[in-house]
Chains A and B, each alone.
Chain A
Amino acid sequence: DIQMTQSPASLSASLEEIVTITCKASQGIDDYLSWYQQKPGKSPQLLIYDATSLADGVPSRFSGSRSGTQYSLKISRPQVDDSGIYYCLQSYSTPFTFGSGTKLEIK
């Protein structure tokens, strides 16, 4: 099974910062990596797919990148509304696996 190691578990950031969340895959996943935002009581919302492609309607302050088997989600100049829990997902092979989540607070 492919393990997705997500970090940090939580972070607090200001409106002027650049936020970076990472997921390291235990083996190659050929960029079958997506990022989701989940707010309390809501379903996950797709932000990034295929590691770097921005989903429809998602603000351009969100971006995805890869270095080796480490994938990153970057939020430039986050807004208060970006607070929530972020998950990565590898859909390269079953069992599909999510990262453990990052709780983001924007001050």
Chain B
Amino acid sequence: KAGVTQTPRYLIKTRGQQVTLSCSPISGHRSVSWYQQTPGQGLQFLFEYFSETQRNKGNFPGRFSGRQFSNSRSEMNVSTLELGDSALYLCASSLASRTEAFFGQGTRLTVV
């Protein structure tokens, strides 16, 4: 059974650009959540999607957006990149809300 797949694994972008990250959850899982991990702040919640609906949103600026498709795959987009957006972005999938979360390997975003 395939795990959570995140693409790409690494990205280098310039300030002001935008970026799209992708997450394919475990087959059959309908809940996808995104987290940002930085050395100083730890893991911070970005969004949660369930059956294409955003159920929760973290305290991030509007430059951060996301969506979920009918096949449960999810994307997040960051526009007008800033140096502080450099982080490991992690996606987690769950069968449903309040069940065990399984994480992908993450996308390492570096903004220069």
Query: Are A and B part of the same complex?
Result: no
